[in-house]
């Protein structure tokens, strides 16, 4: 069922009207920053008890640039800091040189962008549209968090909390504050109060986040500007609740020296368990979050973090990625992992997952990990942008939340429409019979509860002489229940007497494979049907050859 959305802050048509004003005077790559800056200025002036008319004054002034400069100098220091981070004056100077500043100010003066009418949801949608139209986030790996993914993480991370609860909420990759702001709004509806903290590397995004905090009556100073991995802006602080969507595939070679130095500190630093490859630092954010968890004695902490698929299975047994996963499993920190539908994010169609980490789980759930395959719960996006073609509804979120809280495996019944989107679905217990009237729906596993140590494995190295005398090495992955020598004696030696087990290269790895538990085999076609298809294809090929004659399909 489609859900009603709030009106957009700026529709796609309105965005392009602003772009038309800028065309010829500004580079297309600057359209997004200009729109964000003037949107935030308009929201700031409308947020006052007595709305200001800064942009109107700029539009009417003979010298718009000088007028804007005078107005900004009169603002409170915290607002001036935000304007400085937004690089308002450098953008304004370029607009003034192109004789666009006054006209643009007049255009935004006529728009009702007040925070009272358009909240965080609307600002998040605007950011999504601007990313789609003007930004290239593929290079950085930064991707806007869809609102429904934020809702899912909030509901899972705050599942143990009831009305009256109060926590500090932290995001180490805060962006423009959309995730923190939407989380605060959703929690307020449940009677839960959160104090917001964050850090963001982009000066402009950090300024927008601080402006959003200011509009909410929060402390902008609790959003730190800087590289979270290289310089922890909240060092020494511990948080009870954390949410984050860190960049996918983040290259960290430019801060490698600082990261390796902290890794060498062992448990005195954040990165003791291991270091992933320099081409993908997303798991460094996971270690950073774990380092900021409130201790179990103080009540513990819960984390919701989005990753791509490489965080689950990437790397060999002796890789940093595997070492990090092994640390999380052996310290019983993984509560659940949820596979999201594809094409949920703007400007990327890769598979994404939500991890829920908890260092103070109930005794009944310790030592286990819940896997949920929610890839089949989606509907067509009402207004797709970039690769965002799918979205989850509140009903889908409720189904995932239920699967993560019950102590039994569950299945899902799906009926696909002509375009592949599910037109009907139902979640039920794994041991429940298929209801009457659902015989035409396909039934697949939806969730399972597994021992955490099931994700551990041994990597065994078998060598044998090559043709040129050099040893040929082959790695085998076997379960922890197998004794290496007994496995080798049974599985390799009878078939290759020259092979040897290199015990010096035996390693323990960790991988969380959804395909292992949620494989959906496609029934094989009958041989006669395949043969008939081949004959028809061959007949058509013969008809296309010189001198060939058309033949009727057999």
Q: What whole-number percentage of the chain has pLDDT above 70?
A: 90
User: What values do phi and psi take at 46, rounded to 5?
Assistant: -85, -10
Mean pLDDT rounded to a whole number for the chain: 89
281 in the same domain as 320: yes
Q: Is residue 131 part of a domain?
A: no
pLDDT at position 297: 96
Q: Is residue 402 part of a domain?
A: yes
105 in the same domain as 40: yes
Listed range (11-20, 118-127, 289-298, 394-403) with the worst mean pLDDT? 118-127
Q: What whole-number percentage of the chain has pLDDT above 90?
A: 63
pLDDT at position 5: 56
467 in the same domain as 503: yes
Q: Is residue 284 part of a domain?
A: yes
Alpha carbon distance 140, 136 (integer Å): 8
**499 exposure class (CB count in 10 Å sphere: 0-12, 13-18, 19+):** middle
Indicate if the pLDDT at residue 121 is higher than 80. no
**Arithmetic mean of pLDDT, 123-149:** 64
| Residue in 401, 461, 458, 395 with CA at minimum distance from that of residue 422 | 395
Q: Under a CB-based contact definition with an 8 Å cutoff, are residues 214 and 79 in contact?
A: yes
**Arithmetic mean of pLDDT, 333-339:** 98
Indicate if the pLDDT at residue 2 is higher than 60. no
334 in the same domain as 255: yes
Alpha carbon distance 517, 242 (integer Å): 28
pLDDT at position 138: 42
315 in the same domain as 181: yes
Per-residue DSSP letters for 516-540?
A: HHH--PPPPPPHHHHHHHHHHHHHH
506 in the same domain as 400: no
Which residues, in sequence order, are CB contacts of 43 under 8 Å at separation 6+? 113, 114, 115, 118, 123, 211, 215
Q: Is residue 403 part of a domain?
A: yes
Residue that is last in its domain, among 118, 137, 155: 118
Q: Whole domain around residue 110: which residue ranges? A: 12-118
pLDDT at position 132: 58
Residue that is last in its domain, among 65, 97, 118: 118
351 in the same domain as 373: yes
CATH number at residue 256: 3.40.50.150
Place of tokens 């659902």: 438
Q: Under a CB-based contact definition with an 8 Å cutoff, are residues 68 and 162 in contact?
A: no
485 in the same domain as 379: no
Q: Is residue 129 part of a domain?
A: no
252 in the same domain as 206: yes
**Arithmetic mean of pLDDT, 525-531:** 90
Indicate if the pLDDT at residue 495 is higher than 50. yes
Residue 190's pLDDT band (boundaries 50, 70, 90)? very high
Q: Under a CB-based contact definition with an 8 Å cutoff, are residues 69 and 90 in contact?
A: no
Q: Is residue 97 part of a domain?
A: yes
Alpha carbon distance 43, 181 (integer Å): 15
pLDDT at position 326: 97
Q: Is residue 138 part of a domain?
A: no
Indicate if the pLDDT at residue 158 is higher than 60. yes
Q: Under a CB-based contact definition with an 8 Å cutoff, are residues 20 and 192 in contact?
A: no
Indicate if the pLDDT at residue 498 is higher than 80. yes
Q: Tens digits of per-residue pLDDT, 201-246? A: 988 889 889 988 988 889 999 999 999 999 999 999 999 999 999 9
**Arithmetic mean of pLDDT, 412-437:** 90
Residue that is last in its domain, among 420, 453, 486: 453
193 in the same domain as 88: no
Domain tally for the chain? 4
- Higher pLDDT residue, 192 or 42? 192
Per-residue DSSP letters for 111-131?
A: ----TTTS-HHHHHHHHHHHH
460 in the same domain as 442: no
pTM, to two decimals: 0.86
Q: Tens digits of per-residue pLDDT, 26-35? A: 888 788 888 8
Residue 139's pLDDT band (boundaries 50, 70, 90)? very low
Indicate the SS3 state at residue 402.
Answer: helix
Q: Is residue 491 part of a domain?
A: yes
303 in the same domain as 180: yes
- Higher pLDDT residue, 127 or 324? 324
Other residues' Cβ atoms within 10 Å of the Cβ of residue 214: 19
């Amino acid at each position: 069922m489609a859900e009603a959305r709030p009106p957009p802050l700026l529709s796609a048509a309105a965005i392009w009207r602003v772009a038309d004003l800028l065309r010829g005077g500004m580079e297309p790559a600057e359209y997004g920053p200009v729109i964000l800056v003037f949107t935030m200025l308009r929201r700031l002036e409308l947020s006052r008890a007595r709305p200001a008319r800064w942009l109107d004054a700029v539009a009417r002034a003979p010298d718009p640039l000088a007028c804007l400069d005078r107005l900004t100098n009169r603002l409170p220091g915290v607002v001036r800091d935000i304007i400085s981070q937004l690089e308002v004056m450098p953008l304004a100077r370029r607009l003034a040189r192109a004789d666009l500043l006054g006209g643009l100010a007049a255009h935004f003066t006529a728009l009702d962008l007040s925070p009272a009418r358009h909240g965080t949801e609307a600002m998040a949608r605007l950011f999504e549209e601007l990313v789609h139209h003007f930004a290239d986030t593929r290079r950085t790996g930064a991707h806007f968090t869809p609102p429904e993914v934020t809702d899912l993480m909030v509901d899972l991370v705050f599942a143990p909390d009831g009305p009256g609860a109060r926590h500090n909420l932290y995001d180490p990759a805060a962006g423009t504050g959309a995730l923190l702001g939407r989380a605060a709004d959703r929690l307020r509806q449940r009677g839960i109060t959160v104090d917001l903290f964050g850090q963001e590397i982009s000066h402009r995004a950090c300024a927008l986040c601080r402006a959003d905090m200011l509009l909410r009556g929060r402390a902008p100073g609790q959003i730190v500007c800087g590289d979270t991995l290289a310089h922890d802006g909240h060092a020494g602080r511990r948080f009870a609740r954390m949410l984050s969507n860190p960049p996918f595939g983040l290259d960290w070679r430019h801060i490698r020296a600082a990261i390796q130095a902290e890794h060498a500190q062992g448990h005195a630093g954040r990165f003791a368990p291991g270091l992933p490859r320099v081409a993908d630092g997303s798991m460094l954010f996971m270690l950073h979050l774990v380092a900021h968890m409130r201790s179990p004695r103080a009540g513990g902490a819960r984390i919701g973090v989005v990753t791509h698929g490489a965080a689950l299975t990437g790397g060999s047994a002796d890789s940093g990625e595997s070492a990090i996963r092994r640390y999380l499993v052996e310290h019983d920190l993984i509560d659940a992992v949820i596979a999201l539908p594809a094409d949920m994010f703007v400007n990327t169609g890769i598979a994404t997952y939500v991890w829920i980490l908890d260092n103070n789980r109930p005794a009944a759930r310790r030592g286990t990990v819940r896997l949920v395959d929610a890839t089949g719960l989606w509907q067509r996006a009402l207004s797709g942008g970039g690769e965002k073609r799918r979205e989850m509804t509140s009903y889908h979120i409720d189904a995932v939340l239920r699967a993560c809280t019950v102590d039994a495996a569950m299945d899902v019944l799906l009926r696909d429409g002509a375009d592949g989107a599910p037109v009907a679905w139902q979640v039920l217990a794994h041991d429940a019979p298929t209801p009457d009237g659902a015989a035409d729906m396909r039934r697949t596993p939806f969730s399972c509860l597994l021992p955490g140590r099931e994700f551990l494995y041994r990597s065994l190295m078998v060598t044998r002489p090559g043709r040129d005398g050099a040893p040929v090495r082959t790695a085998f992955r076997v379960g922890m229940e197998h004794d290496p020598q007994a496995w080798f004696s049974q599985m390799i030696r009878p078939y290759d007497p020259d092979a040897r087990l290199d015990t010096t290269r035996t390693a323990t790895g960790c991988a969380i494979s959804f395909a292992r538990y949620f494989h959906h085999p496609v029934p094989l076609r009958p041989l006669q049907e395949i043969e008939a298809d081949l004959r028809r294809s061959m007949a058509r090929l013969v008809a296309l050859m010189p001198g060939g004659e058309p033949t009727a399909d057999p």
